[in-house]
Amino acid sequence: MNWENPNVRQSVFDMMNWWANKGIDGFRMDVISLISKPTGLPDGPQSAEAPFGNAADVVANGPRVHDYLQEMHQKVLGRYNWITVGETAGVTVEESKKYANLDGRELNMVFQFEHMGLDGNPNPALGKWYDQPVTLEALRHNLTKWQTALSGTAWNSLYWNNHDQPRVVSRFGNDSPAYRVYSAKMLATILHFMQGTPYIYQGEELGMTNVNFDHLSDYQDLESINAYHELVDDTQLVAPETMMSYLHARSRDNARTPMQWDNSAHAGFSTATPWLKVNHNYHNINVESALKDPNSIFYFYQRLIQLRHELPVITDGRFALVPENENDNAVFAYTRQNNTQTLLIIANFTDQTLTRHYPLPTQHKLLIQNYSDDQGETLRPFEAKVYAY
């Protein structure tokens, strides 16, 4: 689609207004940061190790992208009480302030991907294909950057999962039977007390995990299949067993297995054979089981959402790391504070029992936690808790 052509743009705006008349509530705009291409369509840079060039930085946030979005706002978006979010590959903090500025000239918020790229392979020829976890220091630094940089200027979208990313409990948590529930609740806590609009991807509220298919033939995602053939068969950069480990960790199919409704055939998703195998753990991880368990991840998410409605500080409070937490390689602790209330959010990102001291005033309240009791300065594996004062 040639966005430089005014007739093309007008046809897009006509389509959007047509949908508006159907009563929709907004738009999620796929790769909206790529609609303005540089003059001459230059080749992307190619590193010595990579078989192909990388066009991402060349085509993202092009010279007229903000002109086009402001025109879209004038002719469509500004006419309706909608929510709009743009998927903005390659966006920076400064560009995000243009896309999602609180003056409302373009979009309400954007999806940025920096925290989704922290666990990429250090070898640029392998891109995202890797199986080592990101460090807490890197994750905390990136989330903190976006919280502080956009505060009072633009609006954050908050997410751990989407259809292109592996399951968060397998990626940043621990999906073993012992710690899956604790770490899923911990990750939910960290995200939902930040400033922005949280997005919950299907199955996240159940703690669905990566699928770990045994054979390449089980995968349907073309990105995964093509990467295997390129890196294993064509270039021999990666051994077959290593590449399968990379797929287990990073394939998009991890997020695309059928929703696990119950423990019947195909997890209750369909009576027909689905396009992608159901995760083998659907007998234990499914909606039916979650609804029967008052301590399930599902009900924990409901409580988090309820607190966001009840506490203005989550919307308007200032974000700050607890000072002594800036270099902690195991615990993430931050505060949210407005003129009337302070929240202290504490999360142990490890499977170890730790001791940490965070000063609290005498008058404080434990709002939510993922264990059944509070042991004060003792933090059990993947423990998360939030205090208000």
Per-residue pLDDT tens over the stretch 87-108: 999 999 999 999 999 999 999 9
Per-residue pLDDT tens over the stretch 194-223: 999 999 999 999 999 999 999 999 999 999
CA atoms within 13 A on the CB side of 208: 30
Structural domain for 15, as ranges:
6-299
368 versus 37: which is more confidently predicted? Answer: 368
Please choose, from the candidates 164, 159, 142, the residue with its C-alpha nearest in 3D space to the C-alpha of residue 221. 164
Claim to verify: residue 254 and residue 334 sit in the same structural domain: no
Whether 313 is covered by a domain: the verdict is no
- The mean pLDDT value for 55-71 works out to 90
- The mean pLDDT value for 237-266 works out to 98
Burial class (CB in 10 A: 0-12, 13-18, 19+), 203: buried
232 in helix, strand or coil? helix
87 is annotated as an active-site residue? yes
CATH number at residue 140: 3.20.20.80
Beta bridge partners of 156: 110
Overall residue count recorded for the chain in this entry: 389
Claim to verify: residue 381 and residue 279 sit in the same structural domain: no
Domain count, the chain: 2
Whether 1 is covered by a domain: the verdict is no
55 versus 192: which is more confidently predicted? Answer: 192
- The mean pLDDT value for 234-242 works out to 97
Claim to verify: residue 86 and residue 208 sit in the same structural domain: yes
- In this prediction, residue 49 has a pLDDT band, given cuts at 50, 70 and 90, of low
Whether 382 is covered by a domain: the verdict is yes
Burial class (CB in 10 A: 0-12, 13-18, 19+), 169: buried
Please choose, from the candidates 322, 304, 324, 323, the residue with its C-alpha nearest in 3D space to the C-alpha of residue 314. 304
Pairing of the two strands 83-87 and 26-29: parallel
Claim to verify: residue 187 and residue 327 sit in the same structural domain: no
Whether 178 is covered by a domain: the verdict is yes
Claim to verify: residue 245 and residue 163 sit in the same structural domain: yes
Claim to verify: residue 214 and residue 156 sit in the same structural domain: yes
Residue with tokens 């940490």: 356
- In this prediction, residue 40 has a pLDDT band, given cuts at 50, 70 and 90, of confident
pLDDT for the residue numbered 207: 98
Claim to verify: residue 273 and residue 133 sit in the same structural domain: yes
Q: What's the mean per-residue pLDDT of the chain? A: 96
Give me the percent of the chain exceeding a pLDDT of 70. 99
Whether 312 is covered by a domain: the verdict is no
pLDDT for the residue numbered 48: 72
d(CA 220, CA 246): 15
Given a cut of 90, is residue 1 above it in pLDDT? no
pLDDT for the residue numbered 310: 98
- The mean pLDDT value for 136-152 works out to 97
Whether 213 is covered by a domain: the verdict is yes
Which of 4, 14, 25, 30 is catalytic? The answer is 30
pTM confidence score: 0.94
Per-residue pLDDT tens over the stretch 186-196: 999 999 999 99
Whether 310 is covered by a domain: the verdict is no
- CA angle 298–255–149, rounded 5-degree value: 80
Beta bridge partners of 348: 331
Whether 212 is covered by a domain: the verdict is yes
Per-residue pLDDT tens over the stretch 322-333: 998 889 999 999
- The mean pLDDT value for 57-65 works out to 89
Q: What is the dihedral of CA 371, 372, 373, 374, to 10 degrees?
A: 30
Given a cut of 90, is residue 41 above it in pLDDT? no
- In this prediction, residue 45 has a pLDDT band, given cuts at 50, 70 and 90, of confident
Alpha helices in the chain (DSSP H): 6-20, 56-59, 65-75, 93-99, 136-150, 168-171, 180-192, 222-228, 240-250, 287-292, 297-310, 312-316
Claim to verify: residue 186 and residue 229 sit in the same structural domain: yes
Claim to verify: residue 51 and residue 141 sit in the same structural domain: yes
Claim to verify: residue 132 and residue 273 sit in the same structural domain: yes
CATH number at residue 382: 2.60.40.1180
pLDDT for the residue numbered 141: 97
Residue with tokens 């990666």: 238
Which of 71, 87, 175, 253 is catalytic? The answer is 87
**List of residues 6+ apart from 164 with CB closer than 8 A:** 252, 255
Last residue of a domain, one of 266, 299, 332: 299
Last residue of a domain, one of 271, 299, 327: 299
Claim to verify: residue 132 and residue 172 sit in the same structural domain: yes
Claim to verify: residue 239 and residue 338 sit in the same structural domain: no
